[in-house]
Amino acid sequence: MSEHSRERVPVDVAVGVLVERDAQGQEGRFLLTSRPVGKVYAGYWEFPGGKLEAGESVEQALRRELQEELGITIESAHAWKELVMDYPHARVRLHFCKVYAWSGEFEMREQQAMAWQTLPVQMQPVLPGTIPVLDWFAAERGFVGPTHIA
């Protein structure tokens, strides 16, 4: 197998779309975090998560990653959508899960930043793999207009 073809095999990534809900169950703000210094696309805003380790399910990986990165424990992950993104450095298969309940205090353990957002997202720049999620939110919520500041 050539080096190039090995790079293009998708890396599976669990992504947590943490969403606040009101008393009627309506979805509200969602959490974005910045990519930490030293990682590809440092400073770009995204939904938190990380790579699946051998033998892990998407939910197990998401539970581990959010504990490691944010210091929270999720109750459950609701599989939502999948997306394959080709970045210059890797091809990733993103497994987006909505998360409505968690415990613990948020701790930015990788010196990243966090921001609760609504549409249009005010934080910038937004990671390319995050933009389709904002479009999905717009469709679900009947939002018209730009989903983020370009």
In the chain, where are the structural domains located?
3-129
C-alpha 20, offset from chain centre: 15
Chain segment 68-82, per-residue pLDDT in tens: 999 999 999 999 999
Task: Specify the pairing of strand 91-99 against strand 11-21.
Answer: parallel
**In the predicted model, is pLDDT for residue 125 greater than 50?**
yes
CATH architecture of 3-129: Alpha-Beta Complex (3.90)
**In the predicted model, is pLDDT for residue 30 greater than 80?**
yes
Q: How many helices (H) and strands (E) does the chain have?
A: 3, 9
**In the predicted model, is pLDDT for residue 35 greater than 80?**
yes
**In the predicted model, is pLDDT for residue 5 greater than 80?**
no
Residue 107 in contact with residue 94, Cβ under 8 Å?
no
**What's the whole-model pTM score?**
0.91
Which residue, among 126, 130, 125, 111, has the nearest Cα to 38 in the 3D structure? Answer: 111
Stated as kind and residue range, the H or E segment containing 61 is: helix 58-70
